[in-house]
């Protein structure tokens, strides 16, 4: 499996999101390059980072009234990661490898759709992520599909259970 690379394709132009996403790539690569007993430690670190990553976006979405399925997608992916972590602890290394294979595909897709839509919405409403100030009133952006919620999920619980 190849390491993930940060490319301009992943950059959304929202500084905090881009920084967090670079950290995601780093955490994934540390996980990928680890084996043996250290794997569960690195998996815990990856999950802890992902909790913070998703919480940050979820907080912003709540503050600006960003509609749609983005938070549910975060919850679903975290549930998959936690489930795989549990099974890895029981010795299921194949499932761990499958998750490692699917995560980069999921991440590319998620950044290009839901995170991209969130970054655009943050910009559109003039939301300051540092102060929480909103310069323009939020408007519903889900009806026209611009919240990124119309893309089918790549990383599904079913594919993990197989």
CB of 140 to Fe ion, least distance (A): 19
> Could you please report the per-residue DSSP string of 55-69?
HHHHHHHHHHT--SS
CB of 86 to Fe ion, least distance (A): 23
CB of 115 to Fe ion, least distance (A): 4
CB of 92 to Fe ion, least distance (A): 27
Considering the complex, state which of residue 102 and residue 115 has its C-beta at the smaller distance from Fe ion. Answer: 115
| Contact residues for Fe ion, defined by CB under 5 A | 57, 115
| Beta pairing partners, 127 | 134
Considering the complex, state which of residue 5 and residue 92 has its C-beta at the smaller distance from Fe ion. Answer: 5
Look-up of token digits 């680890």: 34
Do residues 61 and 35 make contact, with C-beta atoms less than 8 angstroms apart? no
Considering the complex, state which of residue 20 and residue 96 has its C-beta at the smaller distance from Fe ion. Answer: 20
Considering the complex, state which of residue 43 and residue 50 has its C-beta at the smaller distance from Fe ion. Answer: 50
Closest of 106, 97, 1, 90 to residue 50, by C-alpha: 106
CA dist., res. 60 & res. 53, Å (int): 11
């Amino acid at each position: 499996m190849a390491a993930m690379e940060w490319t301009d394709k992943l950059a959304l132009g929202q500084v905090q999101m881009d920084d967090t996403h670079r950290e995601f790539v780093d955490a994934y690569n540390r996980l990928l390059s680890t084996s043996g007993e250290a794997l569960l430690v690195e998996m815990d670190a990856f999950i802890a980072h992902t909790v913070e990553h998703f919480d940050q976006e979820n907080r912003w979405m709540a503050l600006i009234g960003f509609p749609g399925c983005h938070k549910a997608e975060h919850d679903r992916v975290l549930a998959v990661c936690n489930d795989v972590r549990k099974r890895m602890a029981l010795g299921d290394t194949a499932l761990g490898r499958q998750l490692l294979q699917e995560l980069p595909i999921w991440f590319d897709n998620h950044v290009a759709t839901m995170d991209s839509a969130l970054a655009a919405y943050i910009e559109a409403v003039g939301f300051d992520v540092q102060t929480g100030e909103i310069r323009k009133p939020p408007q519903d952006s889900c009806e026209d599909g611009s919240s990124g919620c119309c893309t089918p999920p790549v990383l599904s619980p079913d594919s993990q259970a197989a």
